[in-house]
Amino acid sequence: MKSQEDWENTAIAASNLSDLELTLGEVGLAVGDAEQSVTYADLSGDAFQRLTKRVRLADALHQNGRREVAETRFCEAEQMQVETDSDYPRLYSLQGFQYCDLLLAAPERAAWREVSKQMAEGTKQKAEKRFSIFHLTFLICHRRSKARRVVNHGGINKTRFPPPMKNEK
């Protein structure tokens, strides 16, 4: 029988493999190894491993186009976060960024569809269309930039939840 530490290391290895597979574009394999990492993390009993491996699985599911299941896994992880440390009830750092990526994906897709529709209809002047595409791109980049700043701050100072952004317009 494996010890708790062995299960923890096995969970980490499966999660790392899943991350590599995502990077290489092998999304289906990434989902399978992420599912294994959750199983091993549960066997380890370590709260941090259980939470982070669920986020790894949720991100792989999101990248695989399984949004509803991914959202369920993110919610499970966030509930674990509440149970582990009620002072910080939301996912933060990399886990929070990945959850934000899921939450922002649908509005981004809808916005791009609307721009594409307007472009296809040809009902507006070209200058206005270019502006709307530029404006949409700027907003998406700005939101992701804000999310990265929160993630980076959370990664530097894990003892405190990232404060609200100041001087943001």
Q: What is the pLDDT of residues 110-159, one digit of tens each?
A: 888 887 777 777 655 554 555 566 666 666 666 665 555 544 444 433 43
Q: How far apart are CA 90 and CA 75, in angstroms?
A: 10
pTM over cut 0.85: no
Q: What does the DSSP 8-state code read for residue 91?
A: -
Query: Which 3 state secondary structure label does DSSP give 5?
Result: helix
Q: Classify residue 17 as exposed, middle or buried by CB count within 10 Å of its CB (0-12, 13-18, 19+).
A: middle
Give tens-digit pLDDT for 70-109: 999 999 999 999 999 989 999 999 999 999 999 989 888 8
Residues in the chain: 169
Judge whether 57 and 34 are in contact, CB under 8 Å: yes
